[in-house]
Amino acid sequence: MNVVVVFAHPSADSFGQAICSTAVSALESSGHNVSLLALYQSHFSAAMSREEWLAYHGETPALGPDVAAHGALVRNADALIFIYPTWWSGLPSIMKGWLDRVLVAGVAFHFNKKDKVRPSLKQVRHLVGISTYGSPHLYIALMNDNGRRIIMRALRVCTGWRTKRTWLGLYNMGNSTSEQRDAFLQRVHKTLRELS
């Protein structure tokens, strides 16, 4: 499978980086073709420019070579995997900006004759979200877990309802033990090794 991993964490020494490395290793060892989009490391701009906003409803909304290249990878992906820390009950701004700038009309969706949104990524068979949280699971559930909702629900508008979804979350990270973090990495590895 062609797998696109979208990773957002600013620190190369973070547990998020360990998750990303584990994920890529598991996918490659299973023979998948992996494209890693490390947003902070590539200095991806989260802000949609005025020109992009004006082009959004036009014929070519994906402006800029990096945005177009990411869009091409997404259009050929069989699986999309998002790895990030949950901050303020949501996605890091760089990942939200990636969604805004890359998953535009002509890439992720199109409009039918009645101007209704229809999926353009029907080839995507799997959506996987992996996140760390500073708070316990119950608190996250009460706050609606906005990043998870975007990836697990809203993106299915672009992929279709048959897309399989997997969520892996490490909650209360600040109070987790090294054994719990190791167990989570093993869970990530096992889950992605079995992705088919």
Please answer whether residues 7 and 37 qualify as being in contact, where contact means their C-beta atoms are separated by less than 8 angstroms: yes
For residues 91 and 64, which has the higher predicted lDDT (pLDDT)? Answer: 91
| Owner of token pair 């969520």 | 167
- What global pTM score does this model have? 0.94
Give domain limits for the chain. 2-193
* Collapsed DSSP state (helix, strand, coil) of residue 171: coil
The yes/no answer on whether domain 2-193 falls in CATH 1.20.140.10 is no
The pLDDT tens digits of the residues spanning 43-77 come to 999 998 888 888 877 777 767 889 999 999 999 99
Summarize the confidence of residues 1-30 as an average pLDDT. Answer: 97
CA 186 to chain centre: 20
Nearest CA to 185 out of 149, 114, 132 is that of 132
The pLDDT tens digits of the residues spanning 24-50 come to 999 999 999 999 999 999 999 999 888
Q: List strands edge to edge, sheet with 164-170.
A: 33-38, 2-7, 79-85, 126-132, 164-170
Position 139 confidence tier, pLDDT thresholds 50, 70, 90:
confident
CA angle, 27 then 32 then 38, to 5°: 60
